Chain A
């Protein structure tokens, strides 16, 4: 049969990668699109209030039932349903809706709609994107109530009995959590931001999904054949035979690719001209150490030590710290672990303590500055790290260095800690390597001098880019200016690496820049000895390292360094290495 309907391509964004091809299953929330508004006479209002109360009670029962029957695979996400449970009777929703019935004579449906819309309008004003998207929670809760008011059948994704691709305006956490992996191939939604629950849950389910399509519900009919391209964030409706063929190939290639990436994760990553780049993990909690092993990390390049300070009551003792550090050292041995000393301001440790509030915490008393002011606590940590060095390949890393004085002072304390441990007869490695974070522009300028005092540098690109470009990444007005490919950043990185080569010390990159595949040709060409990234990115990054030659990336970086805008750098990367990032040509 000739395919008479033209193919439609709809762009959204990738909720989770992967490709699936199949029949669409439209999830319609019947009855909720049209909500009637009518007036309730004063004498009938108490009945209307009771109708609302009954609907809320039923909605709560349904959700409770769903929570109890959620599969273990997505248990971690059940908390959001529990939060929804707490919202049913929230005064801003429930009490307000009752007031609207009693005072204004609104019917229950309209009261719920009106109150939830007004709450949602407050959310829309929130600058933080994650918290702003919590408006969705209000939508989901009020929909559950409305279903019961209009007696519409709630959507039961769990009852779908054929292998389909879900298409919906939006999927609530309650709906997403019902997805059964053997029944649902993937899903497409019109709404849902990058921080929506649907997006977060899609990632943990690892099924292909495209969110934020805008128009999928209008364009897709039930049982239409669609393709979900979660790699490129694309939905294809009525694909032509040719498109189907292409995507069938892409799908099998993606699956093979994923299998091979994971299979090779545990092997060292060497470029195709045989330069091994150690690919380590950034972690902050001891539990994550299992992930480091699973994803094939060659050690821990950045252990953030803040957790024991923030979570306990006050400052942990040397012994408490040592016990945890020792466990980590032993578990990772013989692979190395780099402990970064405390990198927060004191306010975080003793909440409410009389520490002066800072207008600009990023430029305030934090990291090494705080530690050098509170030397007794700092000594406890240094000694704990030293003692752990008897149980594995341990290194110490000082954060937020902005001057030579800070390096010398820290090293002096380290020497004192060694003396004191030696007197106590404690075991430690007297030659434990010492490094500093290069994340403040002054440390870049002074790198040539600082390099004489330490064994390694670790470049923290997140802060370095922030400080160098004077951009607060948390500020949505300027966040788009944050750019790892900024020519000024590339030149700074080059300066640091050149200094390391000259003084023959190791250089590691431990910011997010190192975990994004499109930066890899630049990162490798600059000459990093090691990378330290979030564990789940390790397999893919290792894979890219194996596909390039260091000699070529070196020459490539020389070219990139001559460019003057980020866009030129980006274009050059795409032109030379774009094929590595696109699976179609893999």
Chain B
């Protein structure tokens, strides 16, 4: 099955630090299958806050969020709105 993905830019001044990473992980943990954050050729498990942090996404980084199960589309949408609102920061 083809993976679904969307691409975002990190606006937050401090990058994807603990707070934004925690909110992504919280959503991703509800997914039926894996959700990946992809930066260049590295990827991180979106359900792991530590994995997201070690991906080191600074302000201005382009991040692709990829779901592997179509049933997780709504979670992808929720993650999208986090990015679009700069995680409320």
Q: Tell whether A pairs with B.
A: yes
Q: Which residues of B contact A87 (CB under 8 A)?
A: 49-50
Is B47 engaged at the interface, CB distance under 8 Å to the other chain?
yes
Segment at the interface with B among A104-112, A265-273, A346-354, A532-540: A346-354
Q: Which residues of A contact B84 (CB under 8 A)?
A: 311, 313, 351
Q: Pick from A83, A123, A131: contact of B15, CB below 8 A.
A: A131
* Distance to closest chain A CB from B53 (angstroms): 5
A361, B26: Cα distance in complex, Å: 31
Q: Is A131 in contact with B11, judged by CB distance below 8 angstroms?
A: no
Q: Is B48 in contact with A137, judged by CB distance below 8 angstroms?
A: no
Segment at the interface with B among A90-98, A430-438, A546-554, A565-573: A90-98
Q: Is A92 in contact with B8, judged by CB distance below 8 angstroms?
A: no
Q: Which of chain A's residues 126-176 have a Cβ closer than 8 Å to chain B?
A: 126-128, 130-132, 134, 137-138
Q: Is A131 in contact with B51, judged by CB distance below 8 angstroms?
A: no
Q: Which residues of B contact A352 (CB under 8 A)?
A: 6-8, 80
Q: Pick from A82, A128, A348, A474: contact of B56, CB below 8 A.
A: A128
Q: Pick from B7, B50, B54: contact of A351, CB below 8 A.
A: B7
Is A517 engaged at the interface, CB distance under 8 Å to the other chain?
no
Interface residues on A, range: 20 to 34
* Distance to closest chain A CB from B47 (angstroms): 7
Q: Is B9 in contact with A351, judged by CB distance below 8 angstroms?
A: yes
Q: Is B56 in contact with A131, judged by CB distance below 8 angstroms?
A: yes
Q: Is A91 in contact with B48, judged by CB distance below 8 angstroms?
A: yes
> Chain A interface mostly helix, strand, loop or mixed?
helix
Q: Is B21 in contact with A83, judged by CB distance below 8 angstroms?
A: yes
Q: Which residues of A contact B49 (CB under 8 A)?
A: 83, 86-87, 90
Q: Which residues of A contact B19 (CB under 8 A)?
A: 79-80, 82-83
A83, B53: Cα distance in complex, Å: 11
Q: Which residues of A contact B47 (CB under 8 A)?
A: 91
Q: Which residues of B contact A122 (CB under 8 A)?
A: 54
Q: Which residues of B contact A130 (CB under 8 A)?
A: 14-15, 17
A196, B26: Cα distance in complex, Å: 24
Q: Is A134 in contact with B9, judged by CB distance below 8 angstroms?
A: no
Q: Which residues of A contact B45 (CB under 8 A)?
A: 91
A90, B15: Cα distance in complex, Å: 20
A130, B19: Cα distance in complex, Å: 13
Q: Pick from A119, A126, A311: contact of B50, CB below 8 A.
A: A119
Is A10 engaged at the interface, CB distance under 8 Å to the other chain?
no
B interface residues, tally (CB under 8 Å): 33
Q: Which residues of B contact A91 (CB under 8 A)?
A: 45, 47-48, 51
Q: Is B9 in contact with A131, judged by CB distance below 8 angstroms?
A: no
Is A310 engaged at the interface, CB distance under 8 Å to the other chain?
yes
Contacts A86-B25, A310-B11, A311-B86 known; A123 to B54 CB distance under 8 Å?
yes
Is A425 engaged at the interface, CB distance under 8 Å to the other chain?
no
Q: Which residues of A contact B85 (CB under 8 A)?
A: 311
Contact with A along B16-31 (1 / 0, CB 8 A): 1111011001100000
Q: Pick from B48, B53, B83: contact of A134, CB below 8 A.
A: B53
Q: Which residues of A contact B68 (CB under 8 A)?
A: none
Is A6 engaged at the interface, CB distance under 8 Å to the other chain?
no
Q: Which residues of B contact A348 (CB under 8 A)?
A: 9, 11
Q: Which residues of A contact B53 (CB under 8 A)?
A: 123, 131, 134, 137
A264, B45: Cα distance in complex, Å: 53
Is A2 engaged at the interface, CB distance under 8 Å to the other chain?
no
Is B58 engaged at the interface, CB distance under 8 Å to the other chain?
yes
Q: Which of chain A's residues 329-355 have a Cβ closer than 8 Å to chain B?
A: 347-348, 351-352
Q: Is B18 in contact with A310, judged by CB distance below 8 angstroms?
A: no
Q: Is B9 in contact with A83, judged by CB distance below 8 angstroms?
A: no
A495, B7: Cα distance in complex, Å: 43
Q: Which residues of B contact A123 (CB under 8 A)?
A: 53-54
Q: Which residues of B contact A137 (CB under 8 A)?
A: 18, 53
For A313, the closest partner residue in chain B by CB is: B84
Q: Which residues of A contact B60 (CB under 8 A)?
A: 361, 474
Is B62 engaged at the interface, CB distance under 8 Å to the other chain?
yes
**Residue with the greatest number of chain A CB neighbours at <10 A, chosen from B11, B14, B18, B25:** B18
Q: Is A92 in contact with B18, judged by CB distance below 8 angstroms?
A: no
Q: Which residues of A contact B48 (CB under 8 A)?
A: 90-92
A92, B47: Cα distance in complex, Å: 10
Contact with B along A299-318 (1 / 0, CB 8 A): 00000000000110100000
Contact with A along B65-84 (1 / 0, CB 8 A): 00000000000000010011
A and B contact pairs by CB, cutoff 8 A, 6 listed: A80-B19, A86-B49, A311-B85, A351-B6, A351-B7, A351-B84
Given contacts A86-B49, A131-B14, 7 further A-B contacts (CB under 8 A): A79-B19, A90-B48, A119-B54, A131-B15, A310-B11, A348-B11, A351-B84
Chain A contacts to B: CB under 8 angstroms: 79-80, 82-84, 86-87, 90-93, 119, 122-123, 126-128, 130-132, 134, 137-138, 310-311, 313, 347-348, 351-352, 357, 361, 474
Q: Nearest 3 pairs between A and B by C-beta?
A: A83-B18, A92-B50, A126-B56
